[in-house]
Structure 1
Amino acid sequence: MRIISGQYKGRRLTAPKNLPVRPTTDMAKEALFNILNNQYYFDEISVLDLFAGTGNISYEFASRGTNNITCVDQNYGCIKYINETAESFEMPISTIKSDVFSFLENHKQPYTIIFADPPYDFPLEEFAKIPELVFQNNLLEEDGLLIIEHSKHTDLSGLAQYSHSKSYGGNMFSFFELTEE
């Protein structure tokens, strides 16, 4: 995995083989950040990275100047790897070892961008819990985005607050926004 752009552009990172992760591909990550680059000033936003895994997405935000990044993952090895990497690059990333759903139920701070990369084999009901908890607990800022990465075989268009999706190879990003009800 490599950092696509920003201060750490081109840096390669190698996660331990024993982590239960599937990092976002470089192609999909580059396409996602091209979209976000047209909507946000990265140094002015806050980011919540759910099911953070290796921290791949968080490193990209940090490299582009985001100073408020929180990663949540329940795997100790993932949290340890993110902490070590963030420290070695002096990136402003904080980590929380927690079940994502427990975190969303009990957390109160809103974010500009919430990125979730749950296991691709999640049942639709589990995917649905993510936007449900985010919007029910007001965790997204007014002009913010919830982005869920999933397989192209999963359709999230029927979920509350769904806006649109973008497909990149086998990866898909579904975008959710606050809308007037």
Structure 2
Amino acid sequence: MRIIAGEFRGRRLVAPSGPATRPTTDRVREAWFSMIGRPGRLAVDLYAGTGALGFEALSRGAERVLFVERRRPALIAIRKNAEALGVSDRIRILSVDVGDARAALLRESPFDLVLADPPWTDFDAAQAALRRLVRADLLTEEGLAVLGHPRKSTLELPPESGLVVRKTRAWGDSAATFYERKPEVETTSES
């Protein structure tokens, strides 16, 4: 696994061994970021695993990334990758279950980019956590949330999230839904 583009292009990332971590493939990451464009100033990588999505955002111009991950082997991999890339001062790691991260994320927000490619082994629980967590108040006005999911599943956010689907794309068994803030409706008064 490697960084696809930007400042750290071609640099390898370490990953914890075993089936608990399913890194987003290079091909899928490349597709996500070609649709994202510039990642903005502040990004968050939920279910970070190896941190590949967050490190890709840093490589492509994000100033800072917050990684949210609870599993110790993945936390070790994120720290090693940050040290190897020389970006330890540009990251923050929140060691907590994503479902319990809302208060901490609100303190760090608003984010220009919210990235999540949750584990598929317990996708129902991950979907429930993301449905509670990902809301418009986490994003800047121009912010984007990209949520990965198995191709045969959907990851729909409730209407009260304040976010709407910009697009959904699929690659092999993987898919992602891109969300943006719901446009504010301007009202005009008639005289």
Distance 1:158 1:101 in 2: 14
Give 1:6's aligned residue: 6
Q: How does 1:15-164 map to 2 (within 5 A)?
A: 15-18=15-18, 20-37=20-37, 40=38, 42=39, 44-91=40-87, 92-108=90-106, 109-124=109-124, 126-135=126-135, 138-157=137-156, 159-160=158-159, 161-163=163-165, 164=167
Cα RMSD (Å): 2.1
* Separation in structure 2 between the aligned mates of residue 133 and residue 17 of structure 1, nearest angstrom: 28
What secondary structure, in the 3-state scheme, does the structure 1 residue paired with 2:68 have?
Answer: strand
Structure 1 runs, 4 residues or longer, greater than 4 Å off: 123-126
Equivalent-residue separation in structure 2 for 1:18 and 1:125 (angstroms):
21
Identity %: 31
Aligned length: 176
Return the index of the structure with the highest Cα Rg. Answer: 2
TM-score, normalised on structure 1?
A: 0.87
8 Å CA contact 2:144, 2:178 repeated in 1: yes
User: Is 1:174 aligned to 2:177, yes or no?
Assistant: yes
- Structure 1, residues 61-93: CA drift from partner, whole Å, max 9, x if none? 111221110000011111121112102211222
Where does structure 2 lack aligned partners over 5 or more consecutive residues?
186-191
Offset at 1:19? Answer: 6.7
Specify every segment of 5 or more residues in structure 1 that has no aligned partner in the other structure, as ranges: none
Cα distance in 1 for residues equivalent to 2:21 and 2:42: 24
Counterpart residue identity of residue 135, structure 1: R
Q: TM-score, normalised by structure 2?
A: 0.82
